[in-house]
A and B are shown apart, each in its own frame.
Chain A
Amino acid sequence: DAGVIQSPRHEVTEMGQEVTLRCKPISGHNSLFWYRQTMMRGLELLIYFNNNVPIDDSGMPEDRFSAKMPNASFSTLKIQPSEPRDSAVYFCASSLAGGYEQFFGPGTRLTVL
């Protein structure tokens, strides 16, 4: 079975540009999570969805960040406009709802110059 798929794996962009990160969860999982990992702040939950519906976006840093899940097999995290402080590794994870283990994608390493 394929795990969680994320693209791109690496993204280098200039400040002010729009960045879109993509995620395909494991088939059958109904919860999807977006995390950000930095040395300074560790792993932070940005937003999560249950059955394609955003449940908690309290971790989204500011209005420049948005996330969508148009269907059960695809989600995007968009940053517009990007800033150097957004540089981090962004992980997508999926799970069954209700305390089950989350399986993480390989991450997208974002560098904003």
Chain B
Amino acid sequence: AQKVTQAQTEISVVEKEDVTLDCVYETRDTTYYLFWYKQPPSGELVFLIRRNSFDEQNEISGRYSWNFQKSTSSFNFTITASQVVDSAVYFCALSEPSNDYKLSFGAGTTVTVRA
């Protein structure tokens, strides 16, 4: 069974629009960790954020913000005022002690920001 679901395969927006990427996860562990990674066209995987299951505070980093809601098992990611440089594939991932802390990745969402 898929542990991390990113239902949006592709999103296309015009520059300066906001874009929200959905991530829904499934786990039976009470302690777990959630991550977002960015993979730009150049191919590298860039770590964006880590969140543990006991910290439900939303986080903002510049134009990026994350909304963690345990009640709905979601960890959504919003890019505000998108820019062309935000064009990338974004992966959500889950790490669980019951799975040896291995990362379970979602399928990724491809974001294209048009000028």
Contacts and interface: CB of A to CB of B under 8 A. Distances in A.
B103 A45 contact: yes
Contact of B44 (A43, A48, A102, A104): A104
A100 B34 CA distance: 10
A35 to B, nearest CB: 9
A74 interface: no
Nearest to A98: B101
A43 B44 CA distance: 12
B105 A101 contact: no
Q: How large is the interface on A (under 10, 10 to 19, 20 to 34, 35 or more residues)?
A: 20 to 34
B58 interface: no
Interface in A85-102: 89, 91, 93, 97-102
Given A101-B35, A103-B47, A104-B45, A42 B108 contact: yes
A43 B108 CA distance: 10
B16 interface: no
Contacts of A99: 31-33, 52, 95, 97, 101
A48 B100 CA distance: 10
A104 B35 CA distance: 13
Interface in A19-64: 31, 33, 42-43, 45, 48, 55-56
Contact of B101 (A43, A89, A91, A97): A97
Contacts of B101: 31, 97-99
Interface of A: 31, 33, 42-43, 45, 48, 55-56, 89, 91, 93, 97-104, 106-107, 109
